[in-house]
Amino acid sequence: MTLAEKILAAHAGCDSVEPGQFLRVKVDLVMTTDATGLISVHQFEKMGAQRVFDPQKVVFVMDHFTPCRNIESAEVVKKLREFARQQGLRWYDVGQAGICHVLLPEKGLVLPGEVVVGGDSHTCTYGALGAFATGMGSTDIAAAMATGDVWMQVPISLRFNYHGRLQPWVTGKDLILYTIGRIGVDGATYAAMEFGGEAIAELGMDDRFSMANMAIEAGGKAGLFEVDQKTLAYVKARARRTFSVFEPDPEANYAKVHEFEVSNLEPQVSLPHSPANAVDVSQVGTVEIDQAVIGSCTNGRLDDLRLAARVLKGRKVHSRVRCIVVPGSQEVYLQAVREGLVEDFIQAGAVVTPPTCGPCPGGHLGVIGEGERCVSSTNRNFIGRMGSPGAEIYLANPAVAAASAVSGVICHPQEVAKA
């Protein structure tokens, strides 16, 4: 069996499973946010449920519109807070929280071999830890909160092997943008994407989270990495319970295996209005920008901020550009302060916001207007994603976003770093 099949089989009480099979799967964690959580609460109540199946396994994270941007969002969070208190759930709000997909792994709430469902499409992020994690609709999340299990069809598995050694300034974000550019936004529809190869082995955990995060941008059901020593070091520093490590069988049956040689890969930029429009940064041409965003559940972790600070330190953001840095969590923010990264950002002329989804879904703290162009380390560049339907969003890694903020045009980080 593949990695995804082994995890699902274990959680369904089966010796083996195969693609297309329908299972009733026990979940280890259910998560939702202020963006969709209230719908789940309403459905939970509508179905007549009284108590969640396990308060320690249901997590509410306020991240999309917090600190609350208006009265409407404040009322949503207020109702969710009341429900969480009544049920005794794990609750993360302003001052303790951050973006859910950064927060949960660093708190040790997701561990290898587990099944996690979340009311947000980027729940697949946790596959970086060797877990089967996927986003679900609000009604499914309500049912999972009540019963502790979900129905699921076993997905096909696709294997992606990356060979070679990455060039400077090339990151996991570039690997996943390149992959989506090659297979399209529907190239992995309802598939488990397994990532491997020597280039993957060299990646740190933050880069792996970035890749797993964007499996959904290829249509994936989940994005998974095998557990290695880097994973175990990350997890053991945070875990407060036992966990199981699963490995794919050598003879596992994959629907397709993709082999990519990435030794000469450049930083990638996805042009409007699809993540699949990925090109080498050298092929973008002269694109003047109005805003650069560094952050999100894709690239708001500490290594991402360190990378951006390498570019911005001692330099100034272009007078025409707004540069917005969004740490992914309170822990990331605090460590960025301790390392002097926040000072580097501020002295460069950037603004550092509280941990939040903020500008990524067009929530707040960086919404863009008609005719504006934004280069962003976020995950989606669909029309209207970050504000006006008349704006343009270019996806890139944090170093490209930082370098573009300095130069005023989308560019390779080495062009700024050499100056």
Q: What are the tens digits of pLDDT across the range 113-133?
A: 999 999 999 999 999 999 999
Q: What's the one-letter identity of residue 17?
A: V
- Same structural domain, 291 and 374: yes
- Same structural domain, 289 and 203: no
Share of the chain above pLDDT 70, in %: 100
Last residue of a domain, one of 228, 260, 292: 260
pLDDT number for residue 417: 83
The pTM (predicted TM-score) of the whole model is: 0.97
Tokens of 410: 């989308």
Q: What are the tens digits of pLDDT across the range 390-418?
A: 999 999 999 999 999 999 999 999 999 87
What is the CATH number for 247?
3.30.499.10
* Mean pLDDT over the full length of the chain: 97
- Same structural domain, 228 and 370: no
- Same structural domain, 145 and 183: yes
Tokens of 107: 């708190």
SS3 249: coil
Q: Strands across the sheet with 58-61, in order?
A: 90-92, 58-61, 29-33, 115-118, 132-135
- Same structural domain, 33 and 78: yes
Tokens of 123: 């729940």
Q: Quick one: pLDDT band at residue 383, thresholds 50, 70, 90?
A: very high
Nearest CA among 49, 57, 77, 96 for reference residue 334: 96
Residue 179 belongs to what domain range? 3-260
Q: How far apart are CA 105 and CA 128, in angstroms?
A: 10
Q: What are the tens digits of pLDDT across the range 130-184?
A: 999 999 999 999 999 999 999 999 999 999 999 999 999 999 999 999 999 999 9
- Same structural domain, 234 and 375: no
pLDDT at 371 exceeding the cut of 70: yes
CB–CB of 397/300 below 8 Å?
no
Q: Give Cβ neighbours of residue 23 (< 8 Å, ≥ 6 apart).
A: 8, 12, 14, 17, 151, 152, 153, 154
R_g of the chain, CA atoms, integer Å: 20
- Same structural domain, 223 and 275: no
Q: What are the tens digits of pLDDT across the range 312-343?
A: 999 999 999 999 999 999 999 999 999 999 99
Q: Give Cβ neighbours of residue 411 (< 8 Å, ≥ 6 apart).
A: 281, 400, 403, 404
Last residue of a domain, one of 260, 294, 309: 260
Residues 256-282, mean pLDDT to the nearest whole number: 98
- Same structural domain, 244 and 351: no
pLDDT number for residue 418: 72
Phi/psi at 316 (nearest 5 deg)?
Answer: -125, 140
Q: How far apart are CA 241 and CA 225, in angstroms?
A: 21
Total count of domains within the chain: 2
Q: Quick one: pLDDT band at residue 192, thresholds 50, 70, 90?
A: very high
Q: Quick one: pLDDT band at residue 419, thresholds 50, 70, 90?
A: low
- Same structural domain, 32 and 123: yes
- Same structural domain, 153 and 201: yes
- The DSSP annotation for 335-384 comes to HHHHTTHHHHHHHHT-EEPPSS-TTTTT-SSS-B-TT-EEEESSS---TT
- Same structural domain, 94 and 200: yes
Q: What are the tens digits of pLDDT across the range 199-223?
A: 999 999 999 999 999 999 999 999 9
Bridge partners (DSSP) listed for residue 193: 158, 223
Last residue of a domain, one of 199, 226, 260: 260
- Same structural domain, 241 and 328: no
